[in-house]
Amino acid sequence: MTTRPRILVARAVFPETIARLEQHFEVEHNQADAAWSRQELLARLKDKAGALTTGTERIDAELLAACSELKICANMAVGFNNFDVPAMTARGVLATNTPDVLTETTADFGFALLMATARRIAESEHYLRAGRWTKWSYDMFAGAEVHGSTLGILGMGRIGQGIARRGAHGFGMNVIYHNRSRLTPELEAACKARYVTKDELLAKADHLVLVLPYSAESHHAIGAAELARMKPTATLVNIARGGIVDDAALAQALKEKRIAAAGLDVFEGEPKVHPDLLTVPNVVLTPHIASATVPTRRAMADLAAENLIGYLVGGQPRTPLNPEVLKKKP
Ligand code: 8YV
């Protein structure tokens, strides 16, 4: 009897994904609401050939040293800041993520958060539900203009470009961006986006959307100094990663109305949220749901499963992050 590879699914996912994986693997999966602790994850991974992770499980040199059977970690997320990719490559462990399948959905959400923030939708809904709407007033929940305003984008990968296209083509916005590298002229034309320095981006954006990957380099890319350079009428939207924004500095800036408002889907230390952000009214807070539509989450789970099956059973993984590992596969 041939033994099937053992894999770990670190968080609860669609039952259909588990059923599909069970056709090929012995699957141990976390059916609880909560994530396993680091120690528990490490203990459970020791005898596994693969893992389906969801973007929060830290896969680093220490864990890899303890899990000598591990061959692949398939993140069900496009972001992979939970992976130490060089350490994985050194150990011959394949890393995969789920790009493309969530681009448009996440860009939709970025735009929704921008609209909700600029037009004060959450704040006004709370007011109405609290029974406080008793009269009309000329300035009641008067927010910031979206159409025709300047949209700034920090990080111009696939999702950033999706937001730029929505802003330029749907809302006639003047789009400026800053990124580690400039887009090709063709891509800039498709998004009608103009490359600027980070300083110009901060100074000119009416709405600044953060879509850059998290790394040591982007840690607190928006802190007190950057917030001070923004217009007092500006809004800030973060759909990238907590840690890119200094949440304490942001809460202070919002309290003092040094910027008008913020929309945040990600937080430093989430699911904990900085207590000061919970008390300021001019911030829209959502629990890391930018990719959360049923079809997109299914597509992400399918792609992560296909990467595991492709690598451990046969065929090819679809979206490897360290393809050099494939060349060394015995
Ligand atoms: C995920 C994300 O929902 O893809 C990403 O990088 O942040 C989200 O789409 C999250 O990582 C859980 O899978």
**pLDDT for residue 1:** 55
Protein residue whose Cα sits closest to atom 13 of ligand 1:
54
Catalogue the active-site residues.
241, 270, 288
- pLDDT of residue 278 exceeding 70, the answer is yes
**DSSP structure class, residue 288:** S
What confidence tens digit (pLDDT) does each residue in 37-69 have? 999 999 999 999 999 999 999 999 999 999 999
Q: Report the residue among 9, 13, 78, 100 best suited for mutation to probe ligand 1: largest number of ligand atoms under 8 A from its CB.
A: 78
Protein residue whose Cα sits closest to atom 8 of ligand 1:
77
Residue whose entry in the numeric block shows the structure tokens 């309290």: 255
Q: Which ipTM did the prediction report?
A: 0.95
In Å, how far are 94, 137, 300 from 318, measured between CA atoms?
12, 56, 12
Residue 94 carries which side chain, given as an amino acid letter? Answer: L
**DSSP structure class, residue 3:** P
Q: State how far the Cα of 272 lies from the Cα of 254, in Å rounded to an integer.
A: 19
CB 79 near ligand 1, within 6 Å: yes
- pLDDT of residue 315 exceeding 90, the answer is no
- pLDDT of residue 24 exceeding 70, the answer is yes
Task: Show the tokens assigned to 199.
Answer: 């300083």
Task: Please give the backbone phi and psi of residue 252, each rounded to the nearest 5 degrees, phi first.
Answer: -65, -45
CB 237 near ligand 1, within 6 Å: no
Residue 280 carries which side chain, given as an amino acid letter? Answer: V
What confidence tens digit (pLDDT) does each residue in 207-262 have? 999 999 999 999 999 999 999 999 999 999 999 999 999 999 999 999 999 999 99
**DSSP structure class, residue 83:** B
What confidence tens digit (pLDDT) does each residue in 160-212 have? 999 999 999 999 999 999 999 999 999 999 999 999 999 999 999 999 999 99
- Which domains does the chain possess? 6-100+294-328 (3.40.50.720), 103-285 (3.40.50.720)
Q: Which atom of ligand 1 is nearest to the CA of 266?
A: 7
Protein residue whose Cα sits closest to atom 12 of ligand 1:
54
Longest dimension (CA), the chain: 77
